[in-house]
Amino acid sequence: MLSIGISFPFWNIPARIPTKIPQEPQFRLTGSNLTNAGTLNLNGAIVTGPASLVNTYGGSINGKGTISTPFINSGGVLSLTGGGLNVTQAFTNTGTIQLSAITASLVGGAITNSGNIQGYGNIGNNITNAGTMEAIGGTLSLSGSVTNAISGLITASPGNKFLANSGLPVNSGVINLTGGTFDNGGKAINNLGQISGYGTFRAGTGSNGLTNNGSVTFTGGSTTVNGDVTNASGKTIKVAYNPATFTGNITNNGIFKTTSATVTFTGSFTNNGLFTSDPATQNFLGDLVIGTNGALQGSVGDIFNVTGNIVNNSTLNSAFDIRAAKLAFTGPGAHQLTWTGADLGSTPTGYTNNFAIGTFVLPTGASLTLLDGNATPGGALYVSSLDLADGVAQISSITGNGLNIYYDSTLADNAYLGDQTYSLSGGGVVAPVPEPSSVLLFAMASVFATGLSRRCFRR
For the whole prediction, is pTM greater than 0.85?
Answer: yes
Residues 433-453 pLDDT 10s = 997 654 455 444 444 443 433
The closest alpha carbon to 137, from 114, 113, 162, belongs to: 162
DSSP 8-state symbol, 421: -
Count of helices and strands (H, E) across the chain:
1, 49
**Which stretches of the chain score pLDDT less than 70?**
1-24, 436-459
Q: Which pLDDT does position 23 carry in this prediction? A: 53
Contacts of 446 (CB under 8 A, 6+ apart): none
d(CA 99, CA 129): 17
pLDDT at 435: 75
Q: How distant, in Å, are the alpha carbons of 265, 286, 417 from that of 361?
A: 19, 17, 14
Q: Are 230 and 210 in contact (CB under 8 A)?
A: yes
pLDDT in tens, 377-406: 789 999 999 999 999 999 999 999 999 999
**What are the beta bridge partners of residue 72?**
54
Q: What is the pLDDT of residue 432?
A: 98
Residue by residue, DSSP assigns 410-427 as TSGGGGGGTT--EE-BTS
For residue 335, the number of C-alpha atoms closer than 13 Å in the C-beta half-sphere is 28
